[in-house]
Structure 1
Amino acid sequence: MNKVIKGTIAAGAAVALFGGGAGSLAYWQASESTDELTLQMGHVQLMEGAKTYYLNGDEMSYETLNSYDSRLVPGDVVTYNHRFGIDVATGADTVLNVAELEFEDTPQFVLDALETDLTVSVVEEWSENLTFSATNEARSFNVSGRGLVEVTVKVAVPADHADSETMVYGISLKPLPVTLTQVAEPLPDAVG
């Protein structure tokens, strides 16, 4: 085939392809877009706060409380407060749990002579939607919102305690784990 015919066929094909030749269709078109979408993830946050120590109502440092000059005698009450900030997204079913008091290297007969108490309470609300309610599980609380809770441990030597054998032993309280855990649904409320 000669070059002129080949060139004419190629030029005709190019016009048909690029020039909207016969048989091509044109469609109307309009476009819009969706809005930008930013979502906030929920959160469960537990923050350690202030610690305070008291002996018979007088605030003191841990070093003073643990010194030789502050040895416990019958009638003494030690109070330890530890605050924790909680920040839980609304709608995130979350449980705050405080472990049971546990002592180590302390003979049972010494523990039997002591009176101990553990309480957990809200001391400051950081948001209007703070909820904090005891559940049917010991030391567990359904929580949401933002606030400050306080774990209080009291150890008392009864005033009528006369067993001199307990005088030579120390009392060693293990650290209490405090956890904030999201759950599938709130725990049942405490009864009674």
Structure 2
Amino acid sequence: MFLITPNSELTEVEKSKLSLLEKIFRAPTEAFDLYLRNASLGRKELLRLHYALWVLAPISKIAGNLIKIILDLVFGDEVDFNPFSGVITSLIIYPVLLLVVSQYDVVRVFYRKVDRTKGENYPAADVLTLAFLAFSASSVFWILPSPINLGLIGISFLYSIYLSYIGMKRVSGVDSKEILIFFLFGSAYLLSISLVFVFIYNIIRTLLN
């Protein structure tokens, strides 16, 4: 995310990113307020923050595997000398999930009709993408052994869903019923798109065979 050395000085954008990451855990509502009012924290910087957190996943997984190898050498009977076991999974899980979350964000912005003649505006973007910073931060848990790491990553996922609820209430002022309707609508929309791609894939596979 940032190359921080004893003599380095953080830029205002980097300070804002660190503050955003801190607030998403300590004061979630303030995190959403900070993102919306800070002009330097746009979608580009938010995605960069996600990317920086993702880098920690394979590093943590390799470190965890090396620790396991050392412990097995000392205390175990069998040793798996592959330090890259599970690295691919730790690499792909975050971008795949964020791709889905970003689609929910798009649906959230446009699924309701907005009448500009009445002064209505589209809701703020990237609320769900911001909420799932908590899930991206779970990349550090890959250093822990299974199933502890998977359990903590699962908790991070549930916490991100909770943050999505908090963010939508904070930013859009919607109630719990409307949030539930949105998630049902978004799930149906994404499922429909998935079925279309599966249908096209099956047609292509049939033609090639």
TM-score higher than 0.5 here? no
Q: TM-score, normalised by structure 1?
A: 0.26
**Larger RCO (CA under 8 A, 6+ residues apart):** 1
Give the number of the structure whose residues are more often strand, by fraction: 1
Query: Which of 1 and 2 has greater Rg?
Result: 1
